[in-house]
A and B are shown apart, each in its own frame.
Chain A
Amino acid sequence: MLNRRGFLKVGGATAFAALFGGCERLPKTLVPFVVPPENYALGESLWYASVCRQCPAGCGIVVRNSEGRAKKIEGNPLHPVNRGKLCARGQAGLQALYHPERLGKPLKLDGPRGSGKFREIPWEEALRLLMTGLASVREEAPGSLLMLSEPMRGHRNLVSARFMKAFGSPHRVAWDPFGQDVHLAANEAAYGVRDLPEYDIAGTRYLLSFSGDFLETGLSPVHFGHAYGRMRAARPTVRGKFVHFGPRLSMTAASADAFLPVAPGTEGFAALGIAHVMVREKLTPEAAGAVGLWNAGLKEFTPEAAGERTGISAADIEVVAREFGANQPGLAMAGDAAASCANGVFNLSAVGLLNLLAGNVGKPGGISFPDRLAAFRKYGAEAKLLLPAAESGYPAVRDAVERMGKGAFRMALLSGATNPAFTLPPSLNFEEALLKVPTIVSFASFLDETTSLSDLVLPVPTFLEEWGDDIAPAGHGGDAITLGQPVVTPFRDTRSMPDVLIAAARELGGPAAAALPWGSFRECLDKAYAGMGIDLEEARRNGGIFSGKAGASRPTPKAGSPALPKAAEAAFAGDPARYPLVLHVYPSIALSDGRGANLPWLQELPDPIATAVWRNWVEVGPKTAAALALSDGDGVTVSSPFGSLQAFVFVHPAIAEGVAAMPLGQGHTRYGKYAADRGGNPYALLPASVESATKAPARQSTRVSLVKTRMKGALVRTVHPEGQWLYENIL
């Protein structure tokens, strides 16, 4: 293994074949070439740098290519987000590339609508169908074209946006169940910046996490994992202390020095309790000066009051507050579970208040708001398209679903992996609404619950086979633009979505063609970066443009005058008498929002807490289980007012009582044989509730009941339930 620069030098700058029309078959002979392609040496590997798209973090990767096949993905050591490290999902990208169920040819519906029965058709016919549809929609009612995708970044987002705008439709909806709407709103309220900060975990001395599972899922788990490692080990005499508040001992909480179980939706009260103690005892200069805050109502949020609401003791809150004050720089983070409640903005604003009282905004060991788009300012208004706000798009999705139901759309273009038919609450009736759209076209690599509803499926290359660029939403200071390239020749008959849109625009002519004036997406990228005065070949070899100079921080006008957030309580649907437990759902580390479920390596990765594989489960605490007469491994029916499913019980020894927790991601009905029939889909238990201020999805808003049910089989756990308590035996 060479050092960081070394192996990138060995790699070629570019993939060794033209992209478009790449339907060459994989070489099957031992020495397949009479005239070998450039950069090819038998037995030697080439390393290509690109970007990982297995989750929204956007880590940089380098991929080993041996005789034309991708063999191993590693983190790109030059990339500031992940610094050469990579998570399990990143590693599993190879299985998406070589998946047996990957779509290799365009598919046309060959049965009833929504049936998922298709037959293969050639690209000419597929494109003809697409163009006919687009042309007629544009002529008659351009506003009746809907684009529903996963949030995109980089120039592919720019291409999609320009296409829709030039086409004449305002209906471009990007859906991400784990969007950061609430964080954005809370940050705006607390700091005055509607953006996601950088958290200097590596430099902090006291880390408070409120339901933030940042080491496993969330915005950038590899980045935060790496930073966590540096927090603990990079400073000779400082280890830092990490305190986690949350409904359950998650993998992240397991790394905490102290875990305090709080009832779901009460994170904000816990934070205010800490803030109260900080101001009362003047634990930091900022807290000492926060008299206005105190009088505005902070004095009511005593540790006892907080304790009552959250379930932790007042003494604990005081101790944590004092330690936090005494060990500055301190840092407070809140996670998705705190955000996706009806009172999400309150929770997160209260947590943000702790950063203000710690006075860590813009300081080492605290939070800062770099201008991540500094390199693209020249685009003007369109720069935002390269790194749009990481929102969920929920209000727009709901609006689109309503319009679909009313027949407002004649054509829908679907793309991405966020699988609305799987991840949207069932009460929205997404499938029914979507099928009211007469023509549904999907750009997809796999047939999942959503893409199976299409009339026409256009196969796209996986992220390892296409050109692109990306700006990571976190983990850098505006000094990193990631460049993606194919690491293998695309070996299925696929065309990337931007390429298809560009070709479609050209054929449509008029403003569309003018808006997308390139021959291909690659040409678009080449032209975009040509004007930046960099050696694009070298940059692609390195995996991106890393200037090493962080951009200027964005101003945080409200940081100096902390305001008391308006307290609000979380709301949970369902009569407590009938549904006695509060449901806490969380994305699973292996499957994230569900997209990883078709990859065998991820299905066989034991969950860090339940140690289960190939199936999901429901967690309850020992007292709750005893009260419900449930034992570890029992089958239960989990019912909410909105849906029900069956699951096996995992008695979790460190979860707030009265809470039932389930990981998200399993429960697919379509999506291939590795994903299908592995339990129920917990998304189907969820209400369509929203967070009150942002209208973002409030997943933690329902109660459930657990009723013992006979189920076939058992939950496969890789750590023995009795043996898991005997750690001393291995010492």
Chain B
Amino acid sequence: MKIENHLSRLDESKLYDELSRSNLPATKRWYAGTGALLLVVLASVAVFVYMMFTGLGVTGLNRPVMWGVMIILFVFWVGLSHSGTLISAILRITRATWRAPVLRGAEAMTALALMVGGLYPLMHLGRNWRFYYILPYPSERQLWPNFRSPLLWDAVAITTYLTGSLLFLYFGMIPDLAIARDRATGWRKKLYTFLAAGFRGTHEEWRRYHVASTLFAVIIIPVAVSVHSIVSWDFAMAMVPMWHSTIFAPYFVAGAIYSGIAGVIAVMVILRKAFRLEKVLTPDHFDNLGKLLLTFTLVWGYFYFSDYLTAWYSRFPEDWEVIRSYSGHYLPLFSLLVACNFLIPFPLLCLKRVRQSIPAMFAVSLVVNVGMFTERVQIVVPSLARRNDPSIWATYFPTWVEISFIIGSIAMFALIYVIFSKLFPVVAISDVKEQLFHTTDRTIGGANLSTVVSGEGKEEGRET
């Protein structure tokens, strides 16, 4: 990247224009695309209403496979939601400076994926209209929900995480909303004014902002870890073979972060293309995300292997039947899982060439997401289909209803994301500016280096 074109050379308004391209007024194409997504989402809602009035028999569920695609979607989307937490919180705490352009997109992903995922525990209920029995409201019969049930912990955890991540997203956006407010007109100005809550960029406000962000980052990490641990305990606390494993909590958290990073990569590639953020999201960013993804390929692979190894070695009869099915009826699923989650990403991500190639990273991230979805399927279905009592073993295959929920969830996520990115700055402008602020140019020998000043005043060089 030539020095002249570097972002730091741009003046503020040009910089803002570069970064907020997504917020330009909606085009016909945007409306068409969003309209199509909306149709898909509405169709999915209609299918749900049909299911609610007809009964869960329209799905492929049966005895013993009483949980299927809807729970898989729940775990998958909640897993995807760990993207933002990791990127923002963990990267913030470890001061990974390259996180800046990715921040907002990832945080948005967290909140929105959680919104989508959180629907499924409500959708998969047999009597959805009585969902409020799970809430601790004062009732005349003095009935409380059962706090010993992992599903109740789920409800608490998801609610907490959703609230937390929405707040995290919102607080992080306040300076950017302020900038947007200053430049906007019409109804947008009203909206941004309301949301910016009077942020003026004073020193005191910035100081508070940094304290709040850091605090949030620190707090949201245990919440995220606990959320997916609790989701994992829906399975691990059960008496189902291959579910009842102590490794499930770290395994699920690792898997969630893994799928989250892959999700962030995919979303970032799309945003970069759609809003021409090439200057902001550089191959270096994808390189770093790729390294993170590689780390978690290894972490996930390690946990998965440990889980499988211990179960395989001890040969508990009920576990053994499930494991045997991995090389039998469920061999295709198992193979797809191992290939997409490890065999393909691991060698590829070791190569810098792959990591710095945006199309390649996009492909790898999709492969990982497919792999993680398959992993959820492989956790839920074979264990139930080949469980303790062999006489009632069955198979499970989703029906059109459940397939439409899969498509609908992706469409819903995309829809909300598209609307979010249209309304709100999808790149964390103030963070980017902050990074840029610490960047200067240096000439060292014959090279022009754009160097970054870290918080402690150290300089790190990076070739441009």
Shortest Cβ distance from A731 into B: residue: B317
B307 at the interface (CB under 8 A from A): no
**With a CB–CB cut-off of 8 A, which chain B residues contact A723?**
389-393
Complex: A730 Cα to B317 Cα, angstroms: 9
Nearest A residue to B324 via CB reads A722
CA distance A723 to B393 in the complex (A): 7
Q: Is the CB of A719 within 8 A of B317?
A: no
The CA of A672 and the CA of B390, in the complex, are separated in Å by 35
8 A Cβ contacts from A703-731 to B: 718-720, 722-726, 728-730
Taken together as a complex, chains A and B put the C-alpha atoms of A718 and B390 apart, in Å, by 11
CB closest residue in chain A, given B395 = A720
Give the docked Cα–Cα distance between A719 and B391 (Å).
5
Interface residues of A in 674-726 (CB under 8 A from B): 718-720, 722-726
Chain A residues lying within 8 Å of B318, measured Cβ to Cβ, are 729
Q: In chain B, what residue has the closest Cβ to A724?
A: B391
- Distance to closest chain A CB from B395 (angstroms): 10
> Which of B388, B389, B391 has the largest count of A CB atoms less than 10 A from its CB?
B391
Q: Given A720-B393, A720-B394, check contact A726 B321 (CB 8 Å).
A: yes
With both beta carbons as reference points, the residue of chain B lying nearest to A611 in the complex is identified as B391
B residues near A730, Cβ cutoff 8 Å: 388-391
Contacts of A725 in B (CB 8 A): 390
Segment 375-390 of B: residues with Cβ below 8 Å from A: 388-390
State the Cβ distance, A724 to closest chain B Cβ, in Å: 6
> How many angstroms between the C-alpha atoms of A725 and B391 in the bound complex?
9
A386 to B392, CA, bound (A): 48
Return the CB mask of B80-115 against A: 1 if under 8 Å, else 0.
000000000000000000000000000000000000
Chain B minimum-CB-distance residue to A725: B390
Q: Which residues of B contact A722 (CB under 8 A)?
A: 390, 393
Kindly state the separation between the CA atoms of A728 and B389 in the bound complex, as whole angstroms.
Answer: 10
Neighbouring B residues of A718 by C-beta, 8 Å: 391-392
Q: Which residue of B lies closest to A719 (CB)?
A: B391
Report A-chain residues with C-beta under 8 Å of the C-beta of B317. 728-729
Q: How far is the CB of B43 from chain A (nearest CB, A)?
A: 31
CB-based nearest B residue for A726: B390
Which chain B residue shows the least CB distance to A721? B393
In the complex, A720 Cα to B388 Cα: how many Å?
A: 13
Highest count of chain B CB atoms <10 Å: which of A718, A725, A726, A728:
A726
Chain B 387-409, CB-CB to A under 8 Å as 1, else 0, gives 01111111000000000000000
Find chain A residues with CB under 8 A from B394 CB: 720
Q: How far is the CB of A464 from chain B (nearest CB, A)?
A: 33
Nearest CB of chain B from residue A609's CB, rounded to whole Å:
14
Scan residues 310-338 of chain B and give those whose CB is less than 8 A from a CB of chain A: 317-318, 321
Name the distance in Å between A619's Cβ and chain B's nearest Cβ: 19
Q: In the bound complex, how far is the Cα of B388 from the Cα of A723, in angstroms? A: 10
| Residue of A whose beta carbon sits closest to that of B392 | A720
In the complex formed, the residue of A with least CB distance to B390 is A723
Q: For residue B321, which residues in chain A have a CB less than 8 angstroms away from its CB? A: 726, 729
B65 to chain A, nearest CB (A): 12
Residues of A within 8 A of B393 (CB): 720, 722-723
Chain A residues within an 8 Å CB radius of B390: 720, 722-726, 729-730
| Alpha-carbon gap, A85 to B402, bound state (A) | 46
Chain B, range 388-437, C-beta contacts under 8 Å to A: 388-394
Q: Which residues of A contact B388 (CB under 8 A)?
A: 729-730
Q: A723-B390, A728-B317, A730-B388 are in contact. List 6 more A-B contacts (CB 8 A).
A: A720-B390, A720-B391, A722-B393, A723-B389, A729-B318, A729-B388
16 pairs, CB–CB < 8 Å, chain A vs chain B: A718-B391, A718-B392, A719-B391, A720-B391, A720-B393, A720-B394, A723-B389, A723-B390, A723-B392, A723-B393, A724-B391, A725-B390, A726-B390, A728-B317, A729-B317, A730-B391
The 4 closest A-B pairs by CB, nearest first: A723-B390, A720-B393, A726-B390, A723-B393
A-binding residues in B (CB < 8 A): 317-318, 321, 388-394
